[in-house]
């Protein structure tokens, strides 16, 4: 009876991991091989699957805190993650011996039904302050750069728009210079959007 319950849970988690369009620590082939191999301890497999889901679910700020990153920096990172609605696969780079005082790098990548995006933040602690540089690259496969530019200008008519290389590149800058966006034509119906920011909170 216990083995039957374990089999059921394992099959459920296999289906969850396979059907979601995200990157996990176990791919479909690996899971099927493990499940078919009678020598593998099924309880160990179930525990491994549970840990793989939890590892994916942790947020950028959670990972930063676990790695010992400066608390002020981690709080800013949490605000940015919520602002950009980051729910993808995360990677954190922090100094192994002094993560609270030295810069750290945080990356989150995710997939959509019409493209992909990768967010990157560098956190630079300075006493009670934390300086932040961010890059957010979004690849869109069903909208042109001209359409994206027009949508942004409709929302904020004061945006400064500059085109280069016969429209192959478009630079968008707001009146307060708080960020810049570079739109790069990727194909006839595709566009890559790169948004960059530099922040000095409290300064």
Distances in Å between the Cα of 34 and the Cα atoms of 31, 59, 91 are 5, 29, 27
In sequence order, the β-bridge partners of residue 109 are 89, 118
Span 127-168, pLDDT tens digits = 999 999 999 999 999 999 999 999 999 999 999 999 999 889
Hey, what are 25's tokens? 């620590």
In which band, very low, low, confident or very high, does the pLDDT at 18 lie, cut at 50, 70 and 90? very low
The residues, ordered by sequence, that sit 6+ positions from 202 with a Cβ below 8 Å of its Cβ are: 128, 129
Sheet holding 129-140, edge to edge: 89-93, 104-112, 115-126, 129-140, 190-199, 180-187, 169-173, 160-164
In which band, very low, low, confident or very high, does the pLDDT at 16 lie, cut at 50, 70 and 90? very low
Q: Per-residue pLDDT averaged across 2-28, rounded?
A: 41
In percent, the amount of the chain with pLDDT more than 70 equals: 72
Give residue 180's pLDDT: 97
Give residue 14's pLDDT: 43
**Rounded Cα gap, residues 181 and 138, in angstroms:** 11
Q: Are 154 and 134 in contact (CB under 8 A)?
A: no
Q: Per-residue pLDDT averaged across 89-109, rounded?
A: 96
Hey, what are 13's tokens? 């988690």
Give residue 102's pLDDT: 97
- In three-state secondary structure terms, 169 is strand
Span 115-128, pLDDT tens digits = 999 999 999 999 99
What is the pLDDT of the chain when averaged over all its residues?
80
Span 51-93, pLDDT tens digits = 333 344 478 999 999 999 999 999 999 999 999 999 999 999 9
Asked if residue 19 has pLDDT above 50, the reply is: no
Lowest model confidence (mean pLDDT) among 3-7, 43-47, 117-121: 43-47
Give residue 134's pLDDT: 98
Q: Per-residue pLDDT averaged across 32-52, rounded?
A: 44
Hey, what are 38's tokens? 């009678």
Hey, what are 162's tokens? 């500059």
Q: Per-residue pLDDT averaged across 96-109, rounded?
A: 96
Distances in Å between the Cα of 130 and the Cα atoms of 59, 71, 78, 82, 180 are 19, 9, 13, 18, 21
Q: Give, as one character, the DSSP assignment of residue 76.
A: H
Give residue 191's pLDDT: 97
Hey, what are 16's tokens? 């969850």
């Amino acid at each position: 009876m216990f083995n039957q319950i374990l089999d059921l849970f394992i099959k459920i988690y296999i289906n969850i991991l396979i059907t979601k369009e995200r990157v996990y620590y176990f791919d479909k082939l690996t899971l099927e091989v493990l499940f078919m191999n009678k020598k593998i301890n099924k309880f160990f497999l179930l525990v491994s699957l549970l840990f793989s889901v939890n590892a994916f679910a942790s947020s950028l700020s959670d990972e930063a805190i676990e790695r010992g990153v400066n608390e002020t920096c981690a709080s800013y990172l949490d605000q940015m993650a919520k602002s950009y609605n980051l729910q993808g696969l995360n990677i954190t780079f922090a100094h192994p011996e002094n993560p609270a005082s030295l810069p750290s790098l945080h990356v989150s990548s995710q997939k959509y039904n019409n493209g992909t995006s990768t967010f990157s933040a560098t956190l630079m602690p300075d006493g009670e302050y934390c300086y932040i540089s961010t890059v957010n690259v979004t690849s869109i496969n069903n909208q042109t750069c001209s359409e994206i530019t027009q949508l942004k200008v409709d929302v904020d008519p004061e945006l400064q728009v500059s085109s280069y290389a016969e429209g192959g590149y478009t630079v968008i800058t707001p009146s307060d210079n708080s960020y810049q966006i570079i739109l790069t034509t990727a194909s006839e119906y595709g566009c890559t959007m790169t948004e960059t920011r530099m922040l000095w909170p409290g300064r």
